[in-house]
Chains A and B, each alone.
Chain A
Amino acid sequence: MSLLELHHEPSPVVEWQPGYGHGHTWTSFGLVEADIAPPQSDWRKRVMRRLRELMRLRAGWDGYCSGPVSVTTAAYAVAILDSSMRSHTNPPAIVPSNGGAVQLEWHEAGLDIELMIYRPLDAELSVHYHDGRPSIEEVALTTNFDRLSDALQELG
């Protein structure tokens, strides 16, 4: 499923609002905490808990100059997961990075999957296979997450 499809199936947790006009488009993301429906899967609960934690990091949390994960980046991360995860997929490790970015990681089932999300519509996917298949290295993802979905399917 792509983000464009997601727009027609709004998540109870994430609002994604595309805008159009004068020859260009824009997007806005927001976490809708007040209207959160009971999470339907374990991964979603854990992801939301972790992202809330990372959004509350103090400036300089890493001992250098990094700030918290931005709300819009967190919302984009949830939108990506909503479109790519199955209900029983294990939640990723979620690691903050500098500049408000966040990296999602799965290391299981003979795969190493790393998705760095710099900001909305700006993510990079890397997948390494322990069985010798060619790696996917830093493929740009914006609104289509099929390659991530394919990799996550292999996790079982």
Chain B
Amino acid sequence: MAGFVLPQDADGEIQPHDHPDLQGARRMIRGVNKAMHVVWDANKGCDRLSSALFRCSPKRQGYLSFDSEHCLVARGEDPADYIDRSEWDGAVIITVEHFRSFDPAQNDNDRWKIGMVPLNDEEPPKPCHGAVWGSISEGRANSIRRAVAWLVELPGVVLDETTLPLAQG
């Protein structure tokens, strides 16, 4: 959104904020590395994503990274092509509204903040990089990973294993 200034501290570090371009039906993209994020679930007899993909302990780990679909499209990028050109093997996507539905906070001050942190000094630059500031527990992270959809699918990897029957044996 034109006119919105990213809040920064005296050192130029972007501070937690809710960005006006990350609301409602706008979507957040999280890249997936098959060798790192996929685990075998013998209970359901399937490969699936690890909750570690979405867990975040702010005091220990800072924020959770993602890319803004809206930002990519506004820059003329096809989000799926962007993932295909990246180091990721696949990517999942979820609306901001749906993501926020997993926030356990009861009042506005404690809510997860979802904003933009452009990484323009990276190689390649990531101007559409965003951040979630807030604690995402194991339980919440598992709920989120079951709720996402594929943007670029990893063949054979299940998103919501609870829809499957228990594996035999």
Contacts and interface: CB of A to CB of B under 8 A. Distances in A.
Interface stretch (A6-14, A15-23, A40-48, A115-123): A115-123
Contacts of B129: 64
A61 B119 CA distance: 15
A107 B33 contact: no
A93 B50 contact: yes
A82 interface: no
10 contacts: A61-B33, A61-B36, A61-B87, A64-B129, A96-B36, A101-B60, A103-B55, A105-B39, A107-B39, A108-B42
Interface in A54-101: 60-65, 93, 95-99, 101
A35 to B, nearest CB: 29
Interface residues of B, number: 31
A77 B80 CA distance: 36
B86 A95 contact: no
Contacts of B42: 107-109
A130 B39 contact: no
B52 A107 contact: no
A96 B55 CA distance: 11
Contacts of B57: 118
A93 B39 contact: yes
A74 to B, nearest CB: 15
Nearest to A108: B42
Nearest to A114: B138
A95 B37 contact: yes
B60 A114 contact: no
Given A60-B122, A63-B88, A95 B52 contact: yes
Given A103-B55, A124-B138, A62 B36 contact: yes
Interface of A: 60-65, 93, 95-99, 101, 103, 105, 107-112, 114, 116, 118-119, 122, 124, 126, 130, 135, 137-138
B25 interface: no
Contacts of B88: 63
A112 B43 contact: yes
A107 B41 contact: yes
Nearest to B123: A60
B40 interface: yes
A101 B139 CA distance: 18
Nearest to A57: B36
B65 A65 contact: yes
Interface string B74-88: 000000000000111
A65 to B, nearest CB: 7
Interface in B73-115: 86-88
B55 A97 contact: yes
Given A65-B119, A116-B52, A98 B138 contact: no
A137 B61 contact: no
